[in-house]
Structure 1
Amino acid sequence: MSDNNATPSSPNYPQLLGHPRPLWMLFMTEFWERFAFYSVSWALALYVVAHFFNGSATGQAWAATIFSAYTALIYASSIFGGYVADRIIGYQRSILLGALVMAAGLFVVMLPSRDVFLIGLAMVIVGNGLFKPNISSMVGQLYARDDPRRDRGFTLFYMGINGGALLAPLLTGWMAGYFTNTPLQQNYRIVFGAAGVGMLLSLLWFWFGRRSLQGVGRPAPEAEGLSRVAWVVLGTVVAVPLVYLLLAFVSSGLSWVLGLLFVVVAVVLLAEAARQGRVQVDRVVAMLIIFAFNVLFWMFYFQLGTSFNFLAENLVDRKMFGDWVFPTGWFQSVSPLAIIVLAPVVTMGWSFFAARDKEPSIPRKFGLGLVFNGLGFAVLMYALAHLLNGQGLIPFWPLALCYVLQTVGELCLSPIGLSMVTKLAPPRLVGLAMGGWFLSLAVGGQLSGLLAGYISGASGMTATSALSGFTFSFWLLAGAGVLLLLVAPLINKLMHGVK
């Protein structure tokens, strides 16, 4: 059994721009995978309404259910992918197999049948489980555990994620309307095809760049044989129809399944920590508390794929420069653009405070993330209560500003969370712990669909239902953020010096 995780002394890599050179290879591998993911994410719910409900708003609730189930399972599958990498075939092989399965699934999604569409989504979910947690874990393995550049390395890696997220809706939104010269809502399938090409680019980038890792992420010598890979391939073939069944028949009850998985992961991590002593147990407990608050953040953040899309489509005045209409999908580029602009600023801010021994602790950063997420909803509350025009539409800027405020919150929370897992998890189970991190996103994603379905109701979103739902969102986020800021000293004690 191998320990593929970060060690006190990582390989002596060549440096590029102050960081290990392989970071930039992983950066671009993740860039193209995120291009694929966010191409599907902006189009998915809109495609379901347009294609399977002929554009009727009555399809919004089911579209929200499918989007949230897809999002939840994307992240939940990371648990199994992390375990496969930790214990069976290593990180590099997991990433390569996952990328191949995802690419195939994205091309299957293009087919118009509802059942085939769900099978394609199931393939994407299973492949993503093998890919996503393991490439994030490998970033941590490039640095020694006490290397002060680790958080900044994850923030730079996060810029790669958002570079792909920025390009995806801009390019694929334009392709959907241009290449077929017909209305945008009829051409979402070209978006899925472009996502498949992006995933192939991610696969090729990692295939040719993996040698720079100097063996990090390879399986142990006794596990080098291909028989283990064959078993994982067989498991993948079995997993796809199981995930299809979850999407097709039990997506509304998925929260219970995910909750049970979360409990199992917590027990496994605590059991491993108990073998190493009280300090490691306390650190795992602190990590699990942060995971719980992370669920709340993503429950509301993931409205971008459902209720925010429906808001933009039906309740936002998108006319600009005469008769030109700002595409709904392009709103999805606001957040990654803001991250690319603001990530260096936030990184320099943390460095500035760290140099003066005043950098906020991990739980305080998470608390700030929740508060900024809540402020985004406060802007929408104001717009829906005071800025509706004669046609029942709000201006363009409140939704754009909401995305920017949520982005500030995301920068306070998400890259810090990835780094936190690599520092607080038991060393032998970093991959599983990273899967637990993504499972907390999965639970948030599933709950986001329940909220979006409530806001839309049986007949579709209205200004009144949106105002009610967004008001609830603001108060819950703000309250959770303030609570976390207040209990941060207690969580810091559990972390035993980890910063």
Structure 2
Amino acid sequence: MANDDPTQKGHPKGLYALFFTEMWERLAFYTMVGILLLYTTDTERGGLGMPSAEGNEIYGLYLAFVYFTPFLGGMIADRYLGYRRAVLVGAICMASGLFLMSVPGKSFFLLGLLGLIIGNGFFKPNISVMVGNLYEPGDARRDAGFNIFYMGINIGALVANLMAAAVRNEAGWLWTFRIAGLGLIVSMLILLSQWKNLSGADRQPAKDPDGAGLSVVFAKILLPTAAFGALGYFLAQWLATHGMLPAGMRPAIVGFLFGMLPVVYFFVNLVRGASDDERPGLRALLPIYIAGGTFFMILHLNGSAMTQWARDNTARDQRPMVASLQQDALPSYYLTAQEDTPRPDPRSLGVVAEDRHARMFGQQRLDQEAVAAIAAENPDLRVVELPVADDGGQPPEVIARAAAVYADGVVTVKEGEDSHGAKTIDVSVPEGAKPTGRVAFVRDVEGKTVGVFVVDRALHQALYQDYESRFGHAPQLLPPGEYLAVTNPEIFQSLNAFFVIAFTPLLVGFFASMQRRGKGLSTAQKLLLGMVLTTASLLLMSLAGVMSDGGAVRVSWLWLGGFYAVVTIGELCLSPMGLSLVTKLTPPRLVGLTMGGWFLATAFGNNFSGFFGGIQGMMTPVSFFLLLAGLAGLVALYLRLVLPGLDATIKKYGG
């Protein structure tokens, strides 16, 4: 299949085209992972303002389906499209999804997510297959080629959140989606420019007479999955209506879990129906799937629970950082700030009795009634009207606090309760509605014009009166109109990619050294080590919870850095080993299905990443991280118990 001589020292030309194609696509993907929860739950910078549980549900389901669809995308490429066209179709779908998300409105947002999920299903499995197809069987350059390709993934992941932070700080949420969409277009252009050079990595689509056809997959997996998923969803809705659904569980999460039951049954039957020679290897995949699913449940807390920890519990004002990667610490930041952290001057804030008016201001969806109400409650403020598209000659400190205004009757505000009984406020506008202008509320303080941020009375009291009651003195104040500059919370997710790049050669060298000394670890032992390190990373975060006084105060970013360092070493021990074992323990006729099983196990874990992010606020940080450490520890114990048999099976199949 390859079009280069396998004896040459260099790599096939197509490798570098695939490297950059993947790098740009991963930049877009990890941009979404980094900001999805922040955007859906944001109430101060023009986000969607959803409750935390709903935002985490969307995050978990998005990542779950992103890892479910490659199971189908690989089969469609094999039988109908070929790999190059499948990757191109995937890139087009993902770019379209990101541009849809850049249009205001929840419907466009959800349609965009669907485009990303479908596109990833075509893109993710097939570009990796193309890398492998560049090399003939037995080519010694193959492993190094995958290492180079994997580096492209992590460069994209490293840059993603740095780019996202800079763009959203300067231009807002929607431009972040647009820039990520442009990244996908660059990815497509690279692919198209090297189309002929990549012909050797492609294959003509054909049906495999020994493989499971799409009709079999549809009848035995997809149709039952959809039926069970719908059953679980409507059952959970009924339970929720009668107050019987456990706290933190949401109908969509329950539906997904129910939908996985036929998948589990299918793979159990696959093992039962295998020949005596094949059955031990297939049975040995169970602990590998369990370990992989659990690990990715923890790792992909990076976009849910760990991002919430970075946002709400990490002191982000204590490090020098590039200005474009910092944002103003708006009022909610100071609720858990340390005692000596200066607070905004009260004259920098406007106060309203109706929390819905404060929410409308924060989500930048005001109407004339809200503008009038805010002005009436703060008679010392001036209302400055601004055009939609430019600064109207106003200084930056005023522009920074401006909010969009819509005609009366356009903005809808609905108040309710979430599954925990907490009050929710949903501020929405119809699809395609355009603001008529913007307004800024300003106050003249000591000869300076100050742009005012609007808060409700409860938040204002927590910032000042409650502070004095707790510490016995008034807080140190910032100059009027100024806020602390803090690092964006999504920046910390880039630590995982940074540590992958930094630790990979060190870990490879360490394992090679152990092997030379006759103390090398088996593949199964590396899996166990990865799970032990994952448990240790969560125990480290439970200590951070102790230091945070139950989440009452922010702690150093080094706790988060330590978590990502330890869990990344666990990733390097576990993830490559898991992928390798799936291919080694499976008969060739079933590799596509069992690799799909690995992705499905990952999808299962990802759904729980969103679930645990949703219940994080219901527990103390110590209890939350100890719960997760306990789950990871149980899986590590299970791996230890099956280790001898797993080692023996792996050796039997040449692993």
TM-score of the superposed pair, with normalisation by structure 1: 0.82
State the shift of 1:150 in Å. 4.9
State the shift of 1:89 in Å. 2.4
1:461 aligns with none
* 2:80 and 2:206 in contact (8 A); partners too: no
More off after superposition, 349-358 vs 360-369: 349-358
Residues 127 and 263 of structure 1: CA distance in aligned 2, closer, same or farther (over 3 Å): farther
Match of 1:168 among 160, 164, 169: 160
More off after superposition, 359-368 vs 74-83: 359-368
| Separation (CA, whole Å) in 2 of partners of 1:469 and 1:139 | 40
Query: What SS class does the counterpart of residue 219 from structure 1 fall into?
Result: coil
| Separation (CA, whole Å) in 1 of partners of 2:32 and 2:604 | 20
Deviations 1:399-452 (Å, cap 9, x if unpaired)? 111011111111112233333334333324434433222111100001122222
Where relative contact order (Cα < 8 A, 6+ residues apart) is larger, the structure is 1
| Separation (CA, whole Å) in 2 of partners of 1:33 and 1:56 | 25
Residues 69 and 221 of structure 1: CA distance in aligned 2, closer, same or farther (over 3 Å): closer
Residues 15 and 100 of structure 1: CA distance in aligned 2, closer, same or farther (over 3 Å): farther
Query: What SS class does the counterpart of residue 250 from structure 1 fall into?
Result: helix
| Separation (CA, whole Å) in 2 of partners of 1:437 and 1:171 | 31
Residue 121 of structure 2 is aligned to residue 136 of structure 1: no
Deviations 1:355-399 (Å, cap 9, x if unpaired)? 566543332222111111111111111121135499611111101
State the shift of 1:50 in Å. 1.4
* 2:24 and 2:187 in contact (8 A); partners too: yes
| Separation (CA, whole Å) in 1 of partners of 2:266 and 2:44 | 37
1:472 aligns with 627
Larger radius of gyration: 2
State the shift of 1:16 in Å. 7.8
Residue 647 of structure 2 is aligned to residue 492 of structure 1: yes
Match of 1:121 among 97, 113, 117: 113
Residue 420 of structure 2 is aligned to residue 264 of structure 1: no
2:304 aligns with 306
State the shift of 1:479 in Å. 3.2
| Separation (CA, whole Å) in 2 of partners of 1:335 and 1:301 | 9
Higher strand share: 2
Match of 2:18 among 12, 18, 26: 26
2:604 aligns with 443
Q: Which amino acid aligns with 2:288?
A: I
Match of 2:532 among 364, 371, 389: 371
| Separation (CA, whole Å) in 1 of partners of 2:267 and 2:133 | 22
Query: What SS class does the counterpart of residue 325 from structure 1 fall into?
Result: strand
State the shift of 1:321 in Å. 4.8
Residues 425 and 352 of structure 1: CA distance in aligned 2, closer, same or farther (over 3 Å): same
1:338 aligns with 499
1:320 aligns with 318
Residue 181 of structure 2 is aligned to residue 196 of structure 1: yes
TM-score of the superposed pair, with normalisation by structure 2: 0.63
2:35 aligns with 43
Residue 284 of structure 2 is aligned to residue 286 of structure 1: yes
| Separation (CA, whole Å) in 1 of partners of 2:192 and 2:48 | 44
* 1:19 and 1:153 in contact (8 A); partners too: yes
* 1:255 and 1:447 in contact (8 A); partners too: no
Residues 83 and 356 of structure 1: CA distance in aligned 2, closer, same or farther (over 3 Å): farther
* 2:289 and 2:598 in contact (8 A); partners too: yes
1:177 aligns with 169
* 2:17 and 2:191 in contact (8 A); partners too: yes
| Separation (CA, whole Å) in 2 of partners of 1:493 and 1:435 | 24
More off after superposition, 39-48 vs 472-481: 472-481
Unaligned ranges ≥5, structure 2: 209-225, 234-249, 321-483
Deviations 1:19-40 (Å, cap 9, x if unpaired)? 5553333222221111010001
1:218 aligns with 203
State the shift of 1:166 in Å. 0.3
More off after superposition, 47-56 vs 290-299: 47-56
Q: Which amino acid aligns with 2:635?
A: A
| Separation (CA, whole Å) in 2 of partners of 1:194 and 1:338 | 25
Residues 265 and 197 of structure 1: CA distance in aligned 2, closer, same or farther (over 3 Å): farther
Residue 252 of structure 2 is aligned to residue 250 of structure 1: yes
Match of 1:71 among 27, 43, 63: 63
1:383 aligns with 544
State the shift of 1:60 in Å. 0.9
State the shift of 1:151 in Å. 4.9
* 2:67 and 2:602 in contact (8 A); partners too: yes
| Separation (CA, whole Å) in 1 of partners of 2:642 and 2:145 | 28
| Separation (CA, whole Å) in 2 of partners of 1:263 and 1:150 | 35
| Separation (CA, whole Å) in 2 of partners of 1:162 and 1:484 | 28
| Separation (CA, whole Å) in 2 of partners of 1:304 and 1:390 | 18
State the shift of 1:216 in Å. 3.2
State the shift of 1:344 in Å. 1.9
Residues 307 and 341 of structure 1: CA distance in aligned 2, closer, same or farther (over 3 Å): same
| Separation (CA, whole Å) in 2 of partners of 1:14 and 1:359 | 29
Residues 391 and 446 of structure 1: CA distance in aligned 2, closer, same or farther (over 3 Å): closer
Unaligned ranges ≥5, structure 1: 1-8, 181-186, 224-240, 458-463
| Separation (CA, whole Å) in 1 of partners of 2:148 and 2:54 | 36
2:219 aligns with none
Deviations 1:192-223 (Å, cap 9, x if unpaired)? 11111111222222233343345333225799
Residues 54 and 24 of structure 1: CA distance in aligned 2, closer, same or farther (over 3 Å): closer
Deviations 1:466-486 (Å, cap 9, x if unpaired)? 221101111221332243144
| Separation (CA, whole Å) in 1 of partners of 2:613 and 2:47 | 18
Residues 158 and 448 of structure 1: CA distance in aligned 2, closer, same or farther (over 3 Å): same
Higher helix share: 1
Deviations 1:219-238 (Å, cap 9, x if unpaired)? 25799xxxxxxxxxxxxxxx
Q: Which amino acid aligns with 1:427?
A: P
Q: Which amino acid aligns with 2:540?
A: V
Residues 280 and 199 of structure 1: CA distance in aligned 2, closer, same or farther (over 3 Å): farther
Percent identical among aligned pairs is: 34
* 1:13 and 1:21 in contact (8 A); partners too: no
Residues 102 and 468 of structure 1: CA distance in aligned 2, closer, same or farther (over 3 Å): same
State the shift of 1:11 in Å. 5.9
1:106 aligns with 98
| Separation (CA, whole Å) in 1 of partners of 2:48 and 2:643 | 46
| Separation (CA, whole Å) in 1 of partners of 2:509 and 2:12 | 19
Residues 115 and 398 of structure 1: CA distance in aligned 2, closer, same or farther (over 3 Å): same
Residues 215 and 156 of structure 1: CA distance in aligned 2, closer, same or farther (over 3 Å): closer
* 2:31 and 2:161 in contact (8 A); partners too: yes
Residue 411 of structure 2 is aligned to residue 411 of structure 1: no
Query: What SS class does the counterpart of residue 211 from structure 1 fall into?
Result: coil
State the shift of 1:76 in Å. 0.6
State the shift of 1:158 in Å. 2.2
| Separation (CA, whole Å) in 2 of partners of 1:331 and 1:13 | 42
More off after superposition, 356-365 vs 130-139: 356-365
Q: Which amino acid aligns with 1:316?
A: T
Residues 48 and 450 of structure 1: CA distance in aligned 2, closer, same or farther (over 3 Å): same
| Separation (CA, whole Å) in 1 of partners of 2:606 and 2:65 | 9
* 1:65 and 1:252 in contact (8 A); partners too: no
Deviations 1:316-356 (Å, cap 9, x if unpaired)? 11112584312111001111011111112223334444556
State the shift of 1:175 in Å. 1.3
Measured on the aligned residues, the alpha-carbon RMSD in Å equals: 3.3
The number of equivalent residue pairs is 455
Query: What SS class does the counterpart of residue 320 from structure 1 fall into?
Result: coil
State the shift of 1:42 in Å. 0.7
* 1:152 and 1:347 in contact (8 A); partners too: no
